[in-house]
Amino acid sequence: MAEEREAISMASSLPPPPQVPMELHAENRSKLIRSLREHLTSSSRPLKGFGGEEKTRYCTDHVELFRQESYFAYLFGVKEPGFYGAIDISNGKSILFAPRLPADYAVWLGEIKQLSYFKEMYMVNMVCYTDEIVEVLRTHHGGSEKPLLFLLYGLNTDSNNFSKPAELKEMEKFETDLSTLHPILTECRIIKSDLELSLIQYANDISSEAHVEVMRKTRAGMKEYQLESIFLHHIYMYGGCRHCSYTCICATGENSSILHYGHAAAPNDRTLKDGDMALLDMGAEYNFYGSDITCSFPVNGKFTSDQRLIYYAVLKAHDAVISAMKPGVSWLDMHKLAERTILESLKIGGIIIGDVDDMMVERIGAVFMPHGLGHFLGIDTHDPGGYTKEMERPKEPGLRSLRTIRELQEGMVITVEPGCYFIDALLVPAMENPNTSKFFCHKEIARFKSFGGVRIESDVHVTSNGAENLTKCPRETWEIEAVMAGASWPLLDKSSIH
Amino acid sequence: MAEEREAISMASSLPPPPQVPMELHAENRSKLIRSLREHLTSSSRPLKGFGGEEKTRYCTDHVELFRQESYFAYLFGVKEPGFYGAIDISNGKSILFAPRLPADYAVWLGEIKQLSYFKEMYMVNMVCYTDEIVEVLRTHHGGSEKPLLFLLYGLNTDSNNFSKPAELKEMEKFETDLSTLHPILTECRIIKSDLELSLIQYANDISSEAHVEVMRKTRAGMKEYQLESIFLHHIYMYGGCRHCSYTCICATGENSSILHYGHAAAPNDRTLKDGDMALLDMGAEYNFYGSDITCSFPVNGKFTSDQRLIYYAVLKAHDAVISAMKPGVSWLDMHKLAERTILESLKIGGIIIGDVDDMMVERIGAVFMPHGLGHFLGIDTHDPGGYTKEMERPKEPGLRSLRTIRELQEGMVITVEPGCYFIDALLVPAMENPNTSKFFCHKEIARFKSFGGVRIESDVHVTSNGAENLTKCPRETWEIEAVMAGASWPLLDKSSIH
Ligand SMILES: [Mn+2]
Ligand SMILES: [Mn+2]
């Protein structure tokens, strides 16, 4: 019967998932070495990063699927758990330390690979076992004094967690420096190389396509999680992406005003209704590099005039920001540009009243968009480096949610994700507050009580003289309506639909 | 254009995911109270469990999708993180402690639910905030002495980890007992109630159907992870299962002899070849309760004679064990029955030579099946309780891998998962060993060098006088071939195919 089986059709126009060149991570190491050398005066200093370990769930033997720690992934690209890594700043040589696996690993978990396999695979100068770290680092050092190790320790300004420095058994045999490495390595990660960009582009391509696939299949009566399932299937089946950059947010109706919907206590389990807006924030990760994309569209495939009003308020902000982006521009200014653009549209739509400058002073923009305009994107969805030690986080509503306030630089990848939401917890107090009540057209706003919200999020690469949008989803309402009615994407003949 | 959109067809014959009655968890609590009362003499002792917390990945703000700790899920069914729970043994009353959420939770994460919501949802007698635990437990106690708390602390015999007892700020205000609760609660979990069984049956139904879907779509040239993606999509899209019981093992060709293939260092990334066997070990979880199912089949849809030989060796063992299972039967004996059945088939197939009793003494069965025959299944894939403190783990190859050696009891759910693998790391030493070399037909075995292995795994419920297989996958080779050629499942007309 085997001969009767038909080939299955591939529902993707993209080429198969790319091979990832390990030069990418070698380049990352070189960049770090250059940065450190600029910063330091003396020579011959090995430095150490460390990789993550597999974890079991609570007390059980349930092993969560391992995903490498991001700084370690940046430098070494190692997929396997339990590794350590070191780079000698004086000569640029890199060493990986692999766990020594027990003999029965071969029975339960697979081939025990030779050290030479890892040396070739990850393009490092030397691979030893983790139980040899102290000896190797001391021998390698050569000198008579204690070798100086730069360990990774520092604040993640998104989580307010500190990275955990590597722990060695005989730490007293080394001098350690916990402050130098983190800010320099973080700074390296902010500017993406061409090889990094191509992975972020790939993650964007497969995710954009998956978003289109979800739009096409969305119907009233479905569950939100079914949209998540379609997305996950598309990026894995056709894109080889086993991980997402973050838990999918599949918010419809009122839920679309819950900014981080989709977690275990709000698990994408609502039934879609005719007339709902859907706000889907989902992004694939490929070889550690991620994407972060939000599409908003009407569940039934056709925008109402109210939906169109809010949608275009956000889309105009999205487009205005991308048009204004270039090196030297302040991200704080971009956030304010988005706010102002949204407020102007809402004013034209009769939802708010009064002078937009006055609204800006009173932070009315933050009532409708309480989150920041965007964040760095890379190996982490919220890639680090948004604030250096010297930068102070703004205190005003909206602005204080910004994950960075830096000036844009060529090579940054940052999300542009304006949104406009009707959130009772913010709207009600603002409409009751005597200072701000006057700006709101209470009657109009009542109509949006269960509207939820709209967010449009693209991943944008800052170029030498502007910005390039890496995300390729339908954005105009007529594009969305055409795709949801079955048109191919990109649209073949715009004139016939427009 | 909206009116032109067609309904999408649902590729599942199952009813929609069931509503889960919270009586299930209330019953679990009652059972624990009864067990504890039988065990204890004095009265009025509150006891405490505790729930899990959300975790971020390393130092980032990447939040892993939360899954409740299993003992806590058993007693309370709480989906949300950060909860604590207590049960008063004297009066049977249960209390949940909910985290006090900050006001901006409503903006970022969703509606802040009233305590009454949780009281109704989880059918407990009282809900307070976690910051009130000490006060509530002391007040509730009434007496003048320090209240006695039974905390959950004990060994998981699969992971060798200890469960972490709940931590309270003012622990000195209580007497604590760390030894009583764990074995009694573990014993409760071993025998499944009808409501628990119906969830395990549901997880089995959707997973069985998904396995069939994967069989139908498997083709040479695909990647192993595409089979994983088809499975994951089916259980989520049509079954509402966001979690799997464990990371999918999608092993083809030689990889099918790697027992726990599919993890990050061996990530289901091989390309399927014509002539390969596939061994797919995948199971959905629904409302905490899991399934654990393995199907083995030829990638091209048609068994070769060698594949049929090994497959039937395993299927005969699988069927023989299920036929023999009933209360009072020793699981160790079932393991040996499976070994013996496999060895007899291999002997008939000319792969091994000699007296099967002698082979049993020399533990030749463990060369082909190094893992245990099966394990309890429930809220954990490897549900706890396999060994009590009094039981000693066998030391012989194969037997020492058994996750339990208990006698079967009515209400247990245990996996039956015999396998037969050609694992160089075990076969080569056994064939070189002068004591065991004689049993192997070296020439025949050479043919199986890259064969990999076969495993057939079903989830089986021990009934009052026998056993019921909850898993409904095609098992006979002709059933598999028919389904892979496009026949519906269950087969409509067996006579025409057989
Ligand atoms: Mn984002
Ligand atoms: Mn199993």
Condensed to tens digits (0 to 9), the pLDDT of residues A318-327 reads 999 999 999 9
Q: How far is the CA of B398 from the centre of ligand 2 (A)?
A: 15
At residue A273, the pLDDT reads 98
Considering only A104-108, A292-296, B50-54, which range has the smallest mean pLDDT?
Answer: B50-54
Average pLDDT of chain A to the nearest whole number: 92
Least CA distance to A302: which residue of chain B? B2
Residue A87: both structure tokens together: 């780079």
Least Cα separation, residue B66 to chain A (angstroms): 6
From the list A186, A203, A198, A153, the residue with the least C-alpha distance to A472 is A203
**Residues of chain B contacting residue A57, judged by C-beta atoms under 8 Å apart:** 67, 69
Least CA distance to B237: which residue of chain A? A226
Record: contact B2-A67, CB cut-off 8 A: no
ipTM over 0.85: yes
Answer whether B288's CB lies under 8 Å from B77's CB. yes
Ligand positioned closest to the Cα atom of A294 = 1
C-beta atoms surrounding B362 within 10 Å: 18
At residue A485, the pLDDT reads 96
Least Cα separation, residue B286 to chain A (angstroms): 13
Interface contact A255, partner B, CB < 8 A: yes
| Confidence at A176, pLDDT banded by 50, 70, 90 | confident
Interface of A with B in 361-380 (CB under 8 A): 370, 380
Residue B498 has pLDDT above 50, yes or no: no
Least Cα separation, residue B465 to chain A (angstroms): 31
Four-point Cα dihedral A468, A474, A476, A480, nearest 10: -170
At residue A219, the pLDDT reads 97
**For tokens 């299955």, what's the residue?**
A8
Backbone angles phi, psi at A137, to 5 degrees: -65, -35
Interface of B with A in 454-483 (CB under 8 A): 481-482
Least Cα separation, residue B82 to chain A (angstroms): 11
Record: contact B164-A58, CB cut-off 8 A: yes
Beta strands in B190-246 (DSSP E): 243-244
Considering only A294-298, B71-75, B176-180, B269-273, which range has the smallest mean pLDDT?
Answer: B176-180
Contacts of B14 (CB under 8 A, 6+ apart): B205, B206, B209, B238, B239
Interface contact A51, partner B, CB < 8 A: no
* pLDDT, tens digit (0-9, with 9 covering 90-100), for A227-238: 999 999 999 999
**Residues of chain B contacting residue A81, judged by C-beta atoms under 8 Å apart:** 264-265
Ligand positioned closest to the Cα atom of B249 = 2
Q: How far is the CA of A457 from the centre of ligand 1 (A)?
A: 7
From the list B369, B366, B373, the residue with the least C-alpha distance to B402 is B373
Q: How far is the CA of B415 from the centre of ligand 2 (A)?
A: 6
Handedness of CA A168, A172, A177, A178 (dihedral sign): positive
Q: How far is the CA of A176 from the centre of ligand 2 (A)?
A: 46
| Confidence at A387, pLDDT banded by 50, 70, 90 | very high
At residue A383, the pLDDT reads 97
Record: contact A264-B65, CB cut-off 8 A: yes
Angstrom distance (rounded) from CA B341 to CA B485: 30
Of chain A, the percentage scoring pLDDT greater than 70 comes to 93
Least CA distance to B275: which residue of chain A? A2
**Residues of chain A contacting residue B260, judged by C-beta atoms under 8 Å apart:** 108-109
Of chain B, the percentage scoring pLDDT greater than 90 comes to 77
Record: contact B485-A1, CB cut-off 8 A: yes
Interface of A with B in 159-198 (CB under 8 A): 159, 161-164
Angstrom distance (rounded) from CA A210 to CA A202: 12
At residue A116, the pLDDT reads 97
Least CA distance to B113: which residue of chain A? A265
Helix orientation angle between B194-217 and B224-237, rounded to the nearest 10 degrees: 140
Backbone angles phi, psi at B444, to 5 degrees: -65, -40
Record: contact A5-B485, CB cut-off 8 A: yes
Answer whether B355's CB lies under 8 Å from B437's CB. no
Backbone angles phi, psi at B318, to 5 degrees: -55, -50
DSSP-assigned letter for residue A59: T
Contacts of A411 (CB under 8 A, 6+ apart): A190, A191, A192, A193, A461, A462
DSSP-assigned letter for residue B222: S
Least Cα separation, residue B230 to chain A (angstroms): 7
**Highest mean pLDDT range out of A160-169, A215-224, B81-90?**
A215-224
Interface contact A19, partner B, CB < 8 A: no
Of chain A, the percentage scoring pLDDT greater than 90 comes to 77
B460 beta partners: B414, B469
Handedness of CA B326, B332, B336, B338 (dihedral sign): positive
| Confidence at B296, pLDDT banded by 50, 70, 90 | very high
C-beta atoms surrounding B389 within 10 Å: 9
**Residues of chain B contacting residue A2, judged by C-beta atoms under 8 Å apart:** 298, 300-302, 481, 484-485
List % helix, strand, coil for chain A (3-state, nearest 5): 35, 15, 45
Backbone angles phi, psi at A113, to 5 degrees: -80, 145
Of B54, B159, B301, the CB nearest to A5: B301
pTM: 0.95
Beta strands in B304-448 (DSSP E): 413-416, 419-421
* pLDDT, tens digit (0-9, with 9 covering 90-100), for A341-352: 999 999 999 999
From the list B191, B201, B210, the residue with the least C-alpha distance to B11 is B210
At residue B231, the pLDDT reads 98
Interface contact B223, partner A, CB < 8 A: yes
From the list B277, B201, B210, B220, the residue with the least C-alpha distance to B248 is B210
Least CA distance to A50: which residue of chain B? B58
**Residues of chain B contacting residue A242, judged by C-beta atoms under 8 Å apart:** 225, 267
**Residues of chain A contacting residue B484, judged by C-beta atoms under 8 Å apart:** 1-2, 5
Interface of A with B in 262-291 (CB under 8 A): 263-267, 269
Residue A51: both structure tokens together: 């990789």
Residue A45 has pLDDT above 90, yes or no: no
Of A67, A110, A265, the CB nearest to B110: A265
Question: Rounded to 5 degrees, what angle do the CA atoms B271, B277, B278 make?
Answer: 65
Record: contact A229-B237, CB cut-off 8 A: yes
Q: 3-state DSSP call for residue B364?
A: coil
**Residues of chain A contacting residue B99, judged by C-beta atoms under 8 Å apart:** none
Q: What is the mean pLDDT of residues B249-267?
A: 96
Record: contact A370-B163, CB cut-off 8 A: no
* pLDDT, tens digit (0-9, with 9 covering 90-100), for B90-141: 888 999 999 999 999 999 999 999 999 999 999 999 999 999 988 888 887 6
Of B8, B79, B81, the CB nearest to A217: B8
Record: contact B61-A382, CB cut-off 8 A: yes
Answer whether A326's CB lies under 8 Å from A408's CB. yes
At residue A408, the pLDDT reads 98
Least Cα separation, residue A33 to chain B (angstroms): 23
- Supply the Cα-derived Rg of chain A in whole angstroms: 25
Record: contact B66-A263, CB cut-off 8 A: yes
Considering only A171-180, A446-455, B48-57, which range has the smallest mean pLDDT?
Answer: B48-57
**Residues of chain A contacting residue B54, judged by C-beta atoms under 8 Å apart:** 263-264
Q: What is the mean pLDDT of residues B385-390?
A: 94
| Confidence at A336, pLDDT banded by 50, 70, 90 | very high
Residue A173 has pLDDT above 80, yes or no: yes
Q: What is the mean pLDDT of residues B463-486?
A: 98
Helix orientation angle between B477-484 and B194-217, rounded to the nearest 10 degrees: 60
Q: What is the mean pLDDT of residues B27-53?
A: 74
Question: Strand order in B458-462's β-sheet?
Answer: B413-416, B458-462, B467-469
At residue B312, the pLDDT reads 98
Residue B322 has pLDDT above 50, yes or no: yes
Residue A453 has pLDDT above 80, yes or no: yes
Answer whether B103's CB lies under 8 Å from B110's CB. no
Answer whether A403's CB lies under 8 Å from A375's CB. yes
Q: Which residues, by Cβ under 5 Å, contact ligand 2, an ion? A: B 292, 415
Contacts of B215 (CB under 8 A, 6+ apart): B295, B297, B474, B480, B483, B484
Q: Residue B177 is which amino acid?
A: D
Q: Residue B342 is which amino acid?
A: I
Residue A136 has pLDDT above 60, yes or no: yes
Answer whether B342's CB lies under 8 Å from B368's CB. yes
Q: What is the mean pLDDT of residues B186-206?
A: 97
Record: contact B107-A264, CB cut-off 8 A: no
At residue B142, the pLDDT reads 63
Interface contact A67, partner B, CB < 8 A: yes
pLDDT: is A363 or B178 the higher one? A363
Angstrom distance (rounded) from CA B349 to CA B444: 9
Ligand positioned closest to the Cα atom of A249 = 1
Least Cα separation, residue A396 to chain B (angstroms): 15
Backbone angles phi, psi at A397, to 5 degrees: -50, 140
Average pLDDT of chain B to the nearest whole number: 92
Interface contact B61, partner A, CB < 8 A: yes
Ligand positioned closest to the Cα atom of B259 = 2
Considering only A128-132, B41-45, B411-415, which range has the smallest mean pLDDT?
Answer: B41-45
At residue A52, the pLDDT reads 65
Interface contact A229, partner B, CB < 8 A: yes
At residue A78, the pLDDT reads 94
Q: How far is the CA of A17 from the centre of ligand 2 (A)?
A: 31
At residue A41, the pLDDT reads 64
Residue B358 has pLDDT above 50, yes or no: yes
Number of residues that this document lists for chain B: 498
